[in-house]
């Protein structure tokens, strides 16, 4: 077997991480607009004012204190306000994507740019026009758009007005947002995904931090509302255009037992089930899995699942399964003195057989092959790899070159593992890298943690020319696409 000729070789961007123009042309703020810049050693934070009007700062992924509201502080730099200014450079950037030969571009549409203050307050026509122009530019270069509807850009207005995803009202808000996108761009987009890394709401409840059951109750309630919203939108997408292909997308990590102790093996199996299958089982099979009640009992959670919810989930089964993959984790039931792994969403111990990136993420291409077989063996649905890449501190030389062989090596090994899985019968329809150009990292708020094939001359403090430069990996990936993955040499 070989990679099919219509394989979707591509890359990724996200509105909340690349666009900038945070308050231009009718867009309302999102949470990232109140996020500071972190580092390898310092967590990213977000700013607010409390119920008494005092300024405060809080971990980026934590809920604000009761009664607080998002607010800007004069002494803070907000990197997302400009990001890498894709909003004003999109024609230049998409031309570069076309030069690289991308077959697809996974991009997002900012909810806050379409419905700045909820659907009842009307559509922002300038937002509609902007994304139409973006999608038309993609078509101009024969790039198939793959649109993810929601990725970290819920309008703060909805967070503060109705309580965000804790409220059932958000199901209708998202449905109306998706309906506008599906109808406006039905002639420009065939491939859709509902929520980016939807399982990220569940993951904190399974990290070894002993979260209060009230937090797990909040997280899984929000997740339930998103699962229902996703299902309703999947059904709608098929009604609007039967040729639409719409999928789920989750964050995957390979979970290995640290030892051959059967208890470690059972624990790693349970971890993968809770972290990943809990959401994909619902979105692929149309109902909560058999073990869901044991998960709820373990966490002390009670969900309000109506008969209508059950019908919506059943009616909204996805066409394909998309997932991100960056690294793996080791799970153990034993007390281990070694330092824990520090990568994003890591919950386990360091793997002595793997190398680690600058940000301490385990680099494990074999884990991608493992995940592909696990998913296809369980569901036998087409698989789409969305987001696979390496964050690193790239160096711009005096003659504007970036020699990123380390990124090429990372991607080469992962593509090789993907090809092996395809040769062994796994149906993979596409592979998109994180990311097409440098942008703001969600987890750290840095631009200096660079992932792109295109270097953007801007630093973490917002200083730079915003000029774009091709990295060595740009030309390498161009050759990979031209040869349909046959030539992976530098």
Burial class (CB within 10 angstroms; exposed 0-12, middle 13-18, buried 19+) of 353: exposed
**For 245-271, what is each residue's pLDDT tens digit?**
999 999 998 999 999 999 999 999 999
Q: What is the pLDDT of residue 255?
A: 92
Residues in a beta bridge with 2: none
Tell me, yes or no, if 137 is annotated catalytic.
no
Distance CA 308, CA 257 (A): 39
What are the tokens at 79?
């990197």
Q: What is the pLDDT of residue 345?
A: 55
Which of 62-66, 94-98, 279-283, 483-487 bottoms out in mean pLDDT, i.e. has the lowest? 62-66
Q: What is the pLDDT of residue 207?
A: 77
Indicate the Cα dihedral angle 168, 169, 174, 175, nearest 10°. 90
Tell me, yes or no, if 270 is annotated catalytic.
no
pLDDT band at 210 (very low <50, low <70, confident <90, very high): confident
> Average per-residue pLDDT in the chain?
95
Please determine, for residue 348, whether its predicted confidence score (pLDDT) is greater than 80: no
pLDDT band at 342 (very low <50, low <70, confident <90, very high): low
Please determine, for residue 388, whether its predicted confidence score (pLDDT) is greater than 80: yes
Please determine, for residue 343, whether its predicted confidence score (pLDDT) is greater than 70: no
Among the listed residues 197, 214, 310, 358, the single catalytic one is: 197
Q: Indicate whether this model's pTM tops 0.75.
A: yes
Which of 26-30, 206-210, 232-236, 446-450 bottoms out in mean pLDDT, i.e. has the lowest? 206-210
Please determine, for residue 346, whether its predicted confidence score (pLDDT) is greater than 80: no
Please determine, for residue 344, whether its predicted confidence score (pLDDT) is greater than 80: no
**For 449-476, what is each residue's pLDDT tens digit?**
999 999 999 999 999 999 999 999 999 9
Stretch 150-165: mean pLDDT, rounded?
Answer: 96
Stretch 99-109: mean pLDDT, rounded?
Answer: 98
Is residue 428 a contact partner of residue 372, using CB atoms and an 8 Å limit? yes
Among the listed residues 214, 387, 420, 424, the single catalytic one is: 387
Please determine, for residue 337, whether its predicted confidence score (pLDDT) is greater than 80: no
What are the tokens at 26?
């009718």
Instruction: Give, in degrees to the nearest 5, the angle at Cα 430 between 420 and 426.
Output: 40
Q: What is the pLDDT of residue 341?
A: 63
Q: Which residue has the tokens 């593509």?
A: 415
């Amino acid at each position: 077997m070989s990679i099919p000729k219509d394989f979707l070789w591509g890359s990724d961007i996200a509105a909340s991480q690349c666009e900038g123009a945070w308050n231009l042309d009718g867009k309302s703020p999102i949470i990232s607009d109140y996020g500071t810049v972190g580092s390898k050693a310092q967590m990213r934070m977000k700013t607010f004012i409390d119920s008494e009007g005092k300024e405060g700062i809080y971990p980026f992924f934590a809920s604000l204190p009761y009664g607080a509201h998002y607010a800007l502080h004069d002494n803070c730099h907000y990197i997302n306000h400009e990001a890498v200014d894709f909003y004003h450079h999109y024609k230049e950037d998409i031309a570069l994507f076309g030069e690289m030969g991308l077959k697809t571009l996974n991009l997002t549409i900012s909810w806050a740019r379409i419905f700045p203050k909820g659907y009842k307050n009307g559509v922002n026509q300038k937002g509609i026009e902007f994304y139409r122009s973006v999608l038309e530019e993609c078509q101009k270069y024969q790039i198939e758009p793959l649109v993810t509807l929601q990725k970290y850009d819920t309008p703060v207005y909805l967070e503060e007005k109705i309580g965000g995803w804790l409220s059932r009202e958000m199901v209708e808000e998202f449905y109306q947002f998706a309906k506008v996108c599906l109808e406006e761009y039905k002639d420009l987009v065939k491939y859709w995904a509902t929520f980016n890394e939807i399982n990220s709401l569940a993951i904190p409840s399974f990290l070894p931090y002993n979260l209060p059951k009230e937090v797990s109750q909040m997280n899984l309630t929000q997740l339930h509302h998103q699962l229902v919203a996703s299902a309703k939108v999947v059904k709608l997408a098929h009604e609007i255009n039967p040729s639409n292909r719409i999928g789920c997308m989750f964050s995957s990590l390979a979970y290995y037992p640290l030892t051959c102790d059967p208890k470690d093996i059972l624990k790693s199996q349970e971890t993968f089930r809770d972290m990943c299958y809990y959401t994909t089982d619902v979105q692929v099979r149309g109902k909560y899995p058999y073990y869901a009640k044991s998960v709820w009992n373990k966490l002390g959670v009670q969900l309000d699942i109506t008969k209508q919810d059950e019908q919506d989930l059943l009616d909204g089964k996805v066409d394909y399964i998309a997932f991100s993959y960056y690294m793996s984790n080791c799970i153990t039931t034993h007390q281990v003195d070694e330092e824990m792994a520090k990568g994003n969403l890591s919950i386990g111990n360091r793997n002595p057989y793997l190398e680690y990136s600058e940000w301490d993420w385990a680099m494990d291409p074999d884990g991608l092959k493992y995940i592909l077989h696990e998913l296809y063996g369980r569901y036998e649905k087409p698989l789409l790899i969305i987001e696979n890449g390496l964050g690193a501190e790239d160096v711009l030389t005096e003659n504007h070159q970036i020699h990123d062989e380390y990124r090429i090596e990372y991607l080469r090994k992962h593509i090789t593992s993907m090809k092996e899985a395809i040769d062994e019968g796994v149906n993979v329809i596409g592979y998109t890298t994180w990311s097409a150009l440098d942008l703001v990292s969600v987890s750290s708020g840095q631009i200096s943690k660079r992932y792109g094939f295109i270097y953007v001359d801007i630093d973490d403090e917002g200083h730079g020319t915003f000029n774009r430069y091709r990295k060595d990996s740009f030309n390498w990936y161009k050759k990979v696409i031209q040869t349909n993955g046959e030539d992976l040499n530098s």
